[in-house]
Chain A
């Protein structure tokens, strides 16, 4: 494997892991409530910015991270409670507008709570590049990929083994049936938002040492996460992870081998091509229409 190819691959996997985390957030909320939460990117921002603030005032990194994730989860819960729940039964487009409004609001609040500058976060274990077959990697990339793997495994255990997780899955398959067996759907919805927010925050914290964080870092990441979730099949957990990794790799390879200026366009063209042949995404549920 040529060193150049390996370099592109590693770069793609690193950013792809972040997209995967954000995409998972989209999928979880979509599954529970059919809502596309366009404010997902802001959870990424809240995670990163909160960690930066807390470490700046002297908190040790692990505590700062935990607090940041909790803060984001709290915002997620608030979003569900005050924005999505009151709009129960509204059309899909209306809900999309509400979450977009929420994302603008959150960004506005971010400029007031923090500032409009870009902030770095110290890498978890230093900056010394690691050589790997002619390509180089920063230690933080390993953290990103490693933690994402752990998170995915945890989620698999959560959905497969815990009661709340199974309740979430049940609600996504058939809300009415879930209610009939006694699942409190309102709690499930809250949990899904909280969980997605936490995932977004983790992504934001992991990637801040590499890409920095700022009040509007969520916009692009949210968009790419959404694209990744659709690519993999909206609502499918494995699809979100696959979509995220693929998107990252396509971008990296596109930049490296074709044209760095058109990298994003190439990625979107590929997504559109996939959707053309597989209108429900790579691993999406083949939906059936009831007439």
Chain B
């Protein structure tokens, strides 16, 4: 019985690995690589966020806050305190996990729109603190970040980063897929369906929710740290409410409760603004229109809708 999902899982992962391996054939210059790397970084955050939104059914409108904590944590530790970048990244990730765990318990007691508001508030508070404490964070103009270095060797350059981000993405997707199929994942889906029902079946919903909240925060923080070192610069613009909404949109676009959907959503919404520049002053109108039309006609998201259409075409056994 479990054979089917296993096959789908590993074939999906293999397909993604193939895409990552072969994509460079289509990338002609550093700008293309840059977009690909940004897609990868966004995808990492989205895969984690999808676990929270899609599988556990909890909404977060503040995940840019965790991304920002990851980015600024790395930046501050390496620039102000001279830590080695990899150590800073590990410490930052651990720190964000702790913060998520502490905030998670009280916040996840709320439901629906109240939870949305609480996560929104959390994200905004984080972004205000970052923008205001300019002695530490460089304020609204941000701060420079040294490149990622391993044993003193600087890791820079688009090609290298492409492979690094690709690798991290594959690991992130693999972990997420494993999580979804684990007892923890099944517990999450149960409590998504009905929290009370799940509790009756003996699932400690509060601790499961907090756990997935922390995991999704860790995904975001890692992506944040990587972004800071890749760009060599960090500003509060990535920590805003708008970016949180962008992330949620990517997850929903691609398809909730679908890890690959999250990757597809991230890919689409990261490249779309680049493609829309041809519209010049109509760019915003086009972007809004695309968002609305896609959600109206494909409310479950791209990947599930296409998968369903594909499955219905296959002759029934």
Contacts and interface: CB of A to CB of B under 8 A. Distances in A.
A268 B124 contact: yes
Interface residues of B, number: 48
Contact of A94 (B113, B194, B245, B299): B299
B221 to A, nearest CB: 21
Interface in A219-278: 223, 226-227, 230, 234, 261-262, 264-265, 268-269, 271-272, 275-276
Contact of A281 (B106, B114, B116): B114
A275 B110 contact: yes
Given A106-B288, A262-B132, A268 B295 contact: no
Interface string B273-295: 00000000111111111111001
Contacts of B157: none
Interface in B104-155: 106-107, 109-114, 116-118, 120-122, 124-125, 128-129, 132
Interface of A: 30, 36, 83, 86-87, 89-94, 96-98, 100-109, 111-112, 223, 226-227, 230, 234, 261-262, 264-265, 268-269, 271-272, 275-276, 279-281, 287, 289, 291
Given A83-B292, A93-B248, A265-B128, A105 B284 contact: yes
B184 to A, nearest CB: 22
Contacts of A265: 124-125, 128-129, 132
A289 B117 contact: no
A86 B296 contact: yes
Given A101-B295, A104-B287, A268-B124, A275 B118 contact: yes
B296 A83 contact: yes
Contacts, number: 129
A105 B289 contact: yes
B196 A98 contact: no
Interface of B: 53, 59, 106-107, 109-114, 116-118, 120-122, 124-125, 128-129, 132, 194-197, 241, 245, 248-249, 252-253, 256, 281-292, 295-296, 299-300
Query: What are the 3 closest A-B residue pairs judged by CB atoms, nearest first?
Result: A105-B288, A108-B284, A101-B291
B250 to A, nearest CB: 10
A63 to B, nearest CB: 29
